[in-house]
Amino acid sequence: MTLRIRGNDYTVLDPPALGGWTPSLRVSVVIPAYDGQEKLDLALAGLSAQSYPAALVEVVVVDNGSSPALRLPEIRPAGTRLIRCEAPGRANARNAGLAAATGDVVHWLDSDVVADRYEVEAHMRWHHLAPYLVVTSYLRFTTAPLPSPETVAAADDLAKLFEPAEPHEWLVDLVERTDGLTATPSRAFSLHVGGATSVNRVLIDAAGPMDEELILGQDTEMGYRLAQAGAVFVPEPLARGFHLGPSMRMRDKQPIDRVSHALIGDRIPQYRWLRAHPARQWKVPYLEVVVEAGGYEETRATIDAVLAGTVPDVSVLLAGPWDTLVPERRAPLTDPRLDLSLLHGHYAYEGRVRFVAADAGRLAPFLLRLPAGWVPGEDTLARLLDLAVEGGHGLVGVLLAEGAEGVTAARLERRAAFARAALVLGTPAPPETPPSAAPAVPASAETPAWTHEPASAEAARAYDDVVDDVYGALWIDGETLGFTAATEPAPAKGRRMAYRSRLETEAEVVKLTKEIERLRGQVGKWRDEAGRWRKTAVDLRRDVGGLRREIAALKTSRLRTVIKRISVRRAGTSRTAPDAEPLGNAPAAPETVPEPPGAGGTGISGPGRPSAGG
């Protein structure tokens, strides 16, 4: 059984050391070329000195209409063939080489890339570990003078010939910011560049050849389809090569982006930024919803709700025996297939609804199997996709109903996860008929809702188990997401209704914005008023402080005055009557002055005192 790799975490694999293992797989190196004989000679000289066993290597050079025609040089791998493809374009040339290749692994190589002598071996040691790997070399872009083929074939280190050189900055940045592509598995397919990438033939058979309608972006578009086929993408630093001259993107990045973005947006749903339009449809939808045709009313309710939701990038695969449908013309009301005819007639000209039998296609990254009669809410599908994307789940099961008769469930499946499960188990992919609409099975049987026959229950569980291992699985209640049973068709919101609702919302936003601005102005006024009050309070505190100081000064001045008066009075009293009573209590003193001692009989007249003779 093949090893189960979770997401794009190839680090669980342990490739052998270079030169320390015995290979067995054959590799076909496919080189599309248009003119440039001198550079092709160097590319073949580099391949002639590879460490991988020559008996396991074939080289297919595809001359894409060169004039004069290309030739094979003397220095080249032994198993080298030259074929011609007159249809112009890289995709046509590669597909011609792919048709001629016989190896277990196909190694794309540009005709102006000289591979290091260990480049092929560094790729192939990974492919011996798992059958679903895509390995890419680290290229450096050189402007050094071109050496001779003999010098290249004899060189033990190409860096001596081609350095200084520039790295593939875009690829290096992608690898570094995604932790070696392990942190963002849904974008790992961007690593598929045709300059030096190898792919297991099993994956190419599942994904299909290159898209010949594209004029640019073919490598990335094929990488996306390889991812849907279950691929794991590996950047290999030991696989090195030198690109002779700058790449096309280095020379003309903006014009190339302009062209490729205009084309690959239709084919790669994962590039969400290229699908900013809110309503248009794309060649490859982001979500396919499989509904098995049942009664007209309940089936229509389901489909109409899907088409009216917030996920515009959606298509409905209406499954039924459409190739056997022959409407009754004479007595249509008695036709046992009347509901089937009504559904076909109702959606015959709806571009987002396809009538399918069993094959649901394998291009959209997500497939929802939804039983007829169950209606998702307006934002239900978007929320369901968010669960799968944010959690990286390969399966999100939705329990819709459970009772004595069994379980009814919907299933959102990540196509890459189920394709990986098929490769791990070595069995065909799960049947594409919509099992979610099959009759309910007993809840105790634990049979997945998409299983048609009890005999396939074990295989179905095996697929789900592998999907859980390689991506993860989650089950959730349908009511939580907004699924409801359709007793009658619910009217869908029209675009004009949604437009008017948006206008009302925008008007309300404008009104609230004005109110907010008014309140902000009022708050500003309040702040200014508060500032004035604060200033007034400061002034008042300053005035109060001044008054307090004045009062204190007055009190101090009066106290000093009183003290001085008291001191003066006390001083006067002490000179005239030391034994006098305290001020205010002494009686009035007589208006006489006593005679000094020793005056004898001689009297001295004084005021108020009689003379001695009187």
What torsion do the CA atoms of 561, 564, 568, 571 make, to the nearest 10 degrees? Answer: 160
For residue 610, pLDDT beyond 50: no
**How far, CA to CA in Å, does 574 sit from each of 202, 208, 324, 571, 591?**
133, 133, 145, 5, 18
How many distinct helices (H) and strands (E) make up the chain?
17, 18
Burial label, 429 (beta-carbon count in 10 A; 0-12, 13-18, 19+)? middle
pLDDT tens figures, 477-506: 999 999 999 876 566 666 666 777 778 888
- pLDDT band with cut points at 50, 70 and 90 for residue 42: very high
Residue 439 C-alpha from the chain's centroid: 37
pLDDT given at position 44: 98
126: CB partners within 8 A, 6+ apart:
10, 13, 15, 133, 135, 234, 236
Burial label, 37 (beta-carbon count in 10 A; 0-12, 13-18, 19+)? middle
Among 415, 467, 381, 27, residue whose Cα is nearest residue 224:
415
Q: Which long-range contacts (CB under 8 A, 24 or more apart) does 430-435 make?
A: 430/460, 430/463, 431/358, 431/456, 432/356, 432/358, 432/359, 432/360, 432/361, 433/292, 433/319, 433/357, 433/358, 433/360, 434/290, 434/291, 434/292, 434/317, 434/319, 434/360, 434/369, 434/370, 435/369, 435/460
Buried (b) or exposed (e) across 307-333, using 16+ Cβ within 10 A? bbbebbbbbbbbbbeeeeeeeeeeeee
pLDDT given at position 355: 94
Least confident of 19-28, 32-41, 152-161, 486-495: 486-495
Among 326, 425, 310, residue whose Cα is nearest residue 377:
310
The overall pTM is greater than 0.85: no
Among 319, 550, 350, residue whose Cα is nearest residue 436:
319
pLDDT tens figures, 173-217: 989 999 999 988 888 998 898 889 999 999 999 999 999 999 888
Among 224, 243, 245, residue whose Cα is nearest residue 233:
224
∠ CA 546-551-557, nearest 5°, is: 125
For residue 449, pLDDT beyond 60: no
pLDDT given at position 575: 55
For residue 590, pLDDT beyond 60: no
- pLDDT band with cut points at 50, 70 and 90 for residue 358: low
3-state DSSP assignment of residue 354: strand
pLDDT given at position 494: 65
Helix axes 218-228, 90-100, angle to 10 degrees: 50
pLDDT tens figures, 109-156: 999 999 999 999 999 999 999 999 999 999 999 999 999 999 999 999
pLDDT tens figures, 259-296: 888 899 999 999 988 998 888 899 999 999 999 999 99
Taking the C-alpha atoms of residue 97 and residue 93, their distance in angstroms, rounded to an integer, is 6
